[in-house]
Structure 1
Amino acid sequence: MAVDATSGVGSSTSTSTSSSAKKATLNYDNFLQLLIAQMKNQDPTDPMKASEQVAQLATFSQVEQTVQTNTKLDTLLASSSLTQASSYVGKYMESADGTVKGTIESVKVYSDGIIATTTDGGNILVQAGITVADKAPTTTTTSDSSDT
């Protein structure tokens, strides 16, 4: 069974996700530094209310949690794609437009999709409309026999 997981053309989900997480963490750290600087330099006659500070902190915590959730979802989707891809090897597949068909020899998983390669060397993009079966359909020919 040959399953290959690579990043897609022009995009890399894991790289962009990790850089987004780093940016969010950096912004969160910057926010804490700004909050401390704001507290040190605030007007003593009109100080910032504690509830405003807590609200700001809560907002940035929510953003950080959302980025972490998205990272975990991306990992889960990638794992699901690999599991799905391995189930195609050895199966008969026909492309959505019917131009490419055959038994699947290998599967390549990209960040933006799955491409199955047949034993004849044809490539099929796994998408809505494909036909997947355990084996190639048998074609039966009916002979026209008349008793005349």
Structure 2
Amino acid sequence: MNTTVNSHRSIIRAAFGTMAALALLVGFAPNAGATAAAKATPTVNVTLIEYKVKLKPATVSAPAGKVKLVAKNKGSMLHEMVVVRAADAAALPVDAEGSVVEDQIPEANLMGEIPEFKEGKTKSKVFALTPGTYVVFCNITEDQGGTTISHFKQGMHAVLTVK
């Protein structure tokens, strides 16, 4: 009979030990969610409209180096969004029509792009951006009555600062 009592006590201790371990795990679970939220990818909303690029916010902190850009084409024509590491738009090489010559930009400074997309659409992409200054622009050219119009030359660019 003494063996049976000891056996029951062992089972009860094991059960309490398991419950205590579960309680600790549950107690720490909210902290795991808070850590994930703290490391969420910063987002910049980009509005593309003839002939402007608006960033909200224009300065973003991205210690991990990843920034999500959400581009909304609120214009009435195709737009694209190119991201280049540069001090400002004037630092970028342009051709005779006023478009950025992307082939003349060092590859390390070409961060990527969201290819052209239609009016009313929204596209997003995560870019690996280290602290610095970037130019976000539309580099589309179009023919309007025999004249080539460069969206970039018309002022369709903005500066994004990553800290």
- In the superposition, the TM-score normalised over structure 1's length comes to 0.33
Structure ranking higher in strand proportion? 2
Structure ranking higher in helix proportion? 1
- In the superposition, the TM-score normalised over structure 2's length comes to 0.30
